[in-house]
Amino acid sequence: MPAGGGAPVIGPKPPWLRIRLRTGEGYGEIRRMRRGLGLHTVCEEARCPNIFECWSDRTATFMILGDTCTRRCGFCAVATGRPRPVDPLEPDHVAEAVARLGLDHAVITSVDRDDLPDGGAAHFAAVIRAVRRRSPGCDVEILTPDFRGVEDPLAVILPEGPVVFSHNVETVPSLYAHVRPGSTFDRSVDLLRLAIRRRGALPRPLVKTGLMVGLGEERVELRETFAVLASAGVEILTIGQYLRPTAEHLPVQRYCPPGEFDELRAEAQGYGFRHVESGPLVRSSYHARGHVREAAHLNSP
């Protein structure tokens, strides 16, 4: 069933998607610091439902390369248009924020920057270096665009030693034209496969991807997608419910109950992933530090 092609869900969200607001000191600190340093977070830009929990626990996912994306995905709340020039001070500002928060695991993502010759790879590398200088003990996880299928950006980013290389496929192949116009499923899987090939015999970076459900995919399509990702060598998989950010975005075709996410976790684990995080409010960076620990535990002798 194509995304938006069936009968969309009408009415309020089910009770398991109700969000508990937590606006403690940690939340306020991150909000003030983000504004003071001129940073962007995917928590705000993508309207993540976990922002209150994560910020109150003093964790955030930093979004680099500005706040304007060069693509227009049907599910994403990030603004689309012509981006402003890259801020050369952004790496130092991200590093400052990581240091102030005392993070031991930082997640760095970005908008798509198809206007840049390297897709922003050199900037990713600069951010990783800056974080390492200020916080040597902090693990850095990166969540990148697909770089238009070009391999060269990986040669720039991976030598900087991120503990996780992540790129989200987001949905099943049949829905790409509706959900991710300008991207292809095969190109995203190829990028993940290239990251594993470039890693060689090294144990890291762990390679990770994420899927949304509720856009009109069939259960058999999810199983087929699990098989493709596992055969590509992906080690960590996240599965979460698609939530429509505004009326201008793709409608929700179905809200999956919590028990179904448990079933999807078990099915995905059967394909050999080291760790699967599956739940209605799961997002790629939700409990990210725990993903690494679980995956490392399963890989230990």
- Map out the domains of the chain with their CATH numbers: 20-299 (3.20.20.70)
Spatial separation of the C-alpha atoms in residues 30 and 27, rounded to whole Å: 5
The residue-averaged pLDDT of 240-266 equals 93
pTM over 0.75: yes
Q: Is residue 11 classed as helix, strand or coil in its secondary structure?
A: coil
Residues 97 and 33 sit within 8 Å (Cβ to Cβ): yes
pLDDT tier at 301 (50, 70, 90 boundaries)?
A: very low
pLDDT tier at 32 (50, 70, 90 boundaries)?
A: low
pLDDT surpassing 50 at residue 167: yes
> Residue 176 is inside which H or E element, if any?
helix 176-179
pLDDT surpassing 70 at residue 269: yes
Q: Are strands 61-64 and 40-41 parallel, antiparallel or unpaired?
A: antiparallel
Q: What is the pLDDT of residue 2?
A: 45
Which residue would you say has higher pLDDT here, 141 or 100? 141
For residue 78, the 8-state DSSP code is S
The residue-averaged pLDDT of 246-271 equals 95
Average pLDDT taken over every residue of the chain? 85
- Read off the pLDDT of residues 51-84 as tens digits, 9 standing for 90 and up: 445 544 555 688 899 989 999 998 888 889 999 9
Which residue would you say has higher pLDDT here, 236 or 44? 236
> Can you name the residues that pair with 41 across neighbouring β-strands?
62
